[in-house]
Amino acid sequence: MKNTHPQGSAQTLAGKITEWLTFDNMHHQWLLLAACFWVIFMFMVASKFITLTFKDPDAYSAKQEFLLLTAMPDVGKLPGEKHFPEELKPTGKVLSDSRLVQPLVYMERLELIRNVCRDEALKNLSHTAVSKFVLDRIFVCDKHKILFCQTPKVGNTQWKKVLIVLNGAFPSIEEIPENVVHDHEKNGLPRLSSFSDAEIQKRLKTYFKFFIVRDPFERLISAFKDKFVHNPRFEPWYRHEIAPGIIRKYRRNRTETRGIQFEDFVRYLGDPNHRWLDLQFGDHIIHWVTYVELCAPCEIKYSVIGHHETLEDDAPYILKEAGIDHLVSYPTIPPGITVYNRTKVERYFLGISKRDIRRLYARFEGDFKLFGYQKPDFLLN
């Protein structure tokens, strides 16, 4: 009788070995698959971590600065030009909230000014000599190489306070007495006109220069209210000397005995022959003359033009660009105070003839176009 047991045992053993090898192979495949999933999962976690890290303002600023330096020249470049003028070159500085669009807005404002300054049809409305009158409007901070052109009725009091602190006259904005801010004997703010011609040119070429604008008609309303209606600083000459001069010349109804009205004011400002009266009023006219007459934006290359309507963004940006944001802050802006109020504008111009409004616009058209303010067709047509 043949013994078949060794052969059967060998077959059984071979089967078990094959089964084990198959199982081991599948085990390795599962391990490999699990390892792949683990790698993918860790990559996703790492990617998320990198994204969160770049959203941090400090970590992101270097990346954003590179983007600004490469993108901004295309925005500011005009046809036929390869480079910015020295004063208009982008600095690459950004706000703490890393909004890339913001510096582009300021470059576009400067580009608009340059374009309007080249418009021959607007030359009489956009150009003015850099006279003593203009130099008297520009305040100097030598310590931080800053020039600020004063444009009354556009929040200038607060900017003066910033410069007063920077010049060291007072340790903080809160400690500056209100009666000192506009007292140029006490506030420690030298005017650019007080320097020699060579020193003036040096500062104009090398210092950070800025000023603030707002809708031209809304600014005139603010000037009228401040000087002829409320007069909070008790400046009696506006009511007792300037107002009577305007009424005598421009009031149509001679039997009207009320004090100066906004209509009288508009007729005076829109008169092409207003200058003879301006000479009598002296420097008091700074509260209502054009931005062109105050700051000569076509002759002086400003670093930044701020807008009153966007002051919440513009003020921090200006401080940062000037390199002083770590030294002083712009005073708190009450909510809604800088918003353009069309209803108020319509109310003040109600009843004033279209002819007088059009003449007023004709005088301030340069301001509207230089700084991108919309033509007030709702008043003109």
Give strand pairing partners of 211.
Answer: 305
Interval 177-193 mean pLDDT:
89
75 versus 304: the higher-pLDDT residue is 304
14, pLDDT greater than 70: no
Average pLDDT score over the chain: 81
- Long-range pairs of 314-320 with CB within 8 A, sequence gap ≥ 24: 314/212, 316/95, 316/96, 317/95, 317/102, 317/103, 317/106, 318/210, 319/162, 320/93, 320/94, 320/95, 320/96
Tokens, residue 249: 């010349």
What mean pLDDT comes out for the span 212-221? 98
* pLDDT above 70 (res 73): no
| Angle subtended at Cα 141 by Cα 325 and Cα 131, rounded to the nearest 5 degrees | 130
Per-residue pLDDT tens digits for 80-108: 333 333 333 333 333 444 444 568 999 99
Widest distance between CA atoms in the chain: 150
Residue 285 has pLDDT above 60, yes or no: yes
Contact 163, 148 (CB under 8 A): yes
Q: For the segment 311-335, what is each residue's pLDDT rounded down to a tens digit? A: 999 999 999 999 999 999 999 998 8
Task: Look at 102-106, 129-133, 151-155, 285-289 and tell me which has the smallest mean pLDDT.
Answer: 102-106
Predicted local distance difference test score (pLDDT) of residue 69: 31
**Cα separation values, 141 from 32, 145, 164, 253, 322, Å:** 69, 6, 9, 49, 11
Per-residue pLDDT band at 275 (split at 50, 70, 90)? confident
If you ran DSSP here, which 8-state letter would residue 136 be given? T
Helix (H, G, I), strand (E, B) or coil at 128: coil
Among residues of the chain, what percentage have pLDDT more than 90?
Answer: 61
Q: Which residue has the tokens 């500011």?
A: 76
pLDDT at 38: 58
Segment 234-271, tens digit of pLDDT: 788 999 999 999 999 999 887 778 899 999 999 999 99
Mean pLDDT, rounded, for 164-190: 90
Distance between CA atoms of 129 and 141, rounded to whole angstroms?
23
